[in-house]
A and B are shown apart, each in its own frame.
Chain A
Amino acid sequence: MSGYFEYLVNGIKSLAIGLKITNKEFFTKPITEQYPHKAVKMTPRYRGHTELLMNKETGTHNCITCGMCEKGCPSNSITVKSEKRPGVKGKVLTAYILNFTTCSLCGQCVENCKPGALGFSNEYNLASTRREDFIFDLLKRLHPNGVPEPKVDPELLKKEQEKKESVKKSEA
């Protein structure tokens, strides 16, 4: 018999506390965000697909087309296309293609990128019925209004032309 009424009173007390809490929550404002109607602000550390980061000083990306991301990718999702242009130091990136259908978001490419050209985007609206929609060209994504032409160094251009001519001469 001992503890019989104690158990009852304590039980009723704890039930009343529970009811009080839910009653309080009922009168506080809902925190639901109406996602399809309103855009949700994503947290900065969210890991979306990778993207080329904008360097504000140069107005373009930092990529030197070394291809370390391509080599490091465990699922071969990255294709870096580049070409040599007259008068420009190093190679110029022409396309950075990420096949997001095979990407596992491991982040190896971001780790491997020495110049720090890659990062994770905040993009979360990733849904489509077509496979082709997930093959991104990250260069086009960075510069949607056309990729700016790389700066031509006139001295370098002159040197290169001289070199070409000298090669031609020696061949002849």
Chain B
Amino acid sequence: MIGLAAFIGVNLAWLGWVERKGAGHFQRRIGPKEVGPYGLLQPLADGLKLMSKQLIIPANADRALYMAAPIVAMVPAVLSFVLIPFGENLVPREFNFGLLMVFAFASMGGLSILIGGWGSGNKYSLIAGTRAVSQNVAYEIPMLITAMTIVMITGSMDLNEIVRQQGGFFWKWNIFRLDKSILMPISFLVFFVCSLAETNRTPFDMGECEGELIAGYHTEYGGMGFGLFMMAEYANIVIGCSLTTILFLGGWQCPFGLFPGPHWFLIKTYFLFWCFVWIRWTFPRTTFWGLLNLSWKYLIPFSLVNLLLTALFIKVF
């Protein structure tokens, strides 16, 4: 349990550093470099600064909701880690309905954005909150349908069991299971795009929209209130990446059937995280219209077709 807490803490702090360093190099800058070697102590300095700041509650804010929102954002994000199988025998809590549980926690994230946006008493925050909710609803559907496809293939909602069934070589991973459905790689893409949208990352960061809505739902938050939102965002990203790894890329399995273990899980997850960073610093934000169009016109039909195809393949073969 302590190990898990340490893992979460280290990840949330230093993935922020990775992101900023990556952002710098994608734009031919250097990124943080002053605090410690290669700027590695920057997260500590940032944390110290955020914690030493005064908490100001705006006059129009709904006090209870305003205070609750960062906690509602942070707690489910951290709780999801309990269900992630890092290795075959390295699961904090093995649970039959792990997949369902992770999705339940994930949908709390949207709620926290709504609470934060509503409770701030700021029109920009409110717009961001409502946008984020309609976005999360739109993207949860294809995500759940795709997850359902995986459950149909593996016949289990236990995350560790799903990984165990993808053992052996990399063509046994769900992304390459063309014998179950020929649309599996597309299904992986759908899931990945949905996890981008679910974690409110660019190009789908409708909840933040620096250009139009100042900072969206956390405009009115300062100090550790903002810090918690930020950490929750990174926690959600790690959860999204590890879930994609577990469902499609064979979790802790080695691509060549040799020495499976937590290191493979971490390599795959961090690779996906790197893709998140890469995508963030490449694409501009979509319009709200484009965002919903993508979900309803492309992702949902494709995931539904894949669901039907999988059912057909399972029935026929």
Taken residue by residue from 16 to 38, chain A's Cβ proximity to chain B (1 for < 8 Å, 0 otherwise) reads as 00110111011011111000000
Is B30's CB within 8 Å of the partner chain A?
Answer: yes
Chain A residues with Cβ below 8 Å from B281 are 22
In the complex, the answer to whether A30 meets B283 with C-beta atoms within 8 Å is no
Which one of B20-28, B100-108, B109-117, B136-144 is at the A interface? Answer: B20-28
Q: Is the Cβ of A8 less than 8 Å from the Cβ of B298?
A: yes
A42 is an interface residue with CB less than 8 A from chain B:
no
B278 within 8 A of A: yes
* A15 part of interface (Cβ distance < 8 Å): yes
Total A-B Cβ pairs within 8 A: 33
In the assembled complex, which residues on chain A have CB atoms less than 8 Å from the CB atom of B26?
22, 25-26
* Choice from A4, A8, A15, A30 contacting B25 with Cβ under 8 Å: A30
Sorting the interface of chain A by its residue count into under 10, 10 to 19, 20 to 34 or 35 or more gives 10 to 19
Report the interface size class on chain B. 10 to 19
Bound CA span A43–B151, Å: 64
Cβ contact within 8 Å between B25 and A26:
yes
In whole angstroms, what is the CA distance A145 to B90 when docked?
Answer: 75
Taking the closest CB of chain A, its distance from the CB of B304, in whole angstroms, is 15
**B202 nearest CB across to chain A (Å):** 12
Name which residue of chain A comes closest to B203, CB basis: A15
Nearest Cβ distance between residue B201 and chain A, in whole angstroms? 15
Contact B283 A31 (CB under 8 A): no
Pairwise interchain contact A19-B279, C-beta atoms closer than 8 A: yes
In the A-B complex, the 5 residue pairs with the closest CB atoms: A22-B282, A32-B30, A18-B282, A30-B30, A30-B28
Which residues of B come within 8 Å of A, CB atoms?
22, 24-30, 278-279, 281-283, 297-298
List residues of A whose CB falls within 8 A of some B CB.
4, 8, 15, 18-19, 21-23, 25-26, 28-32
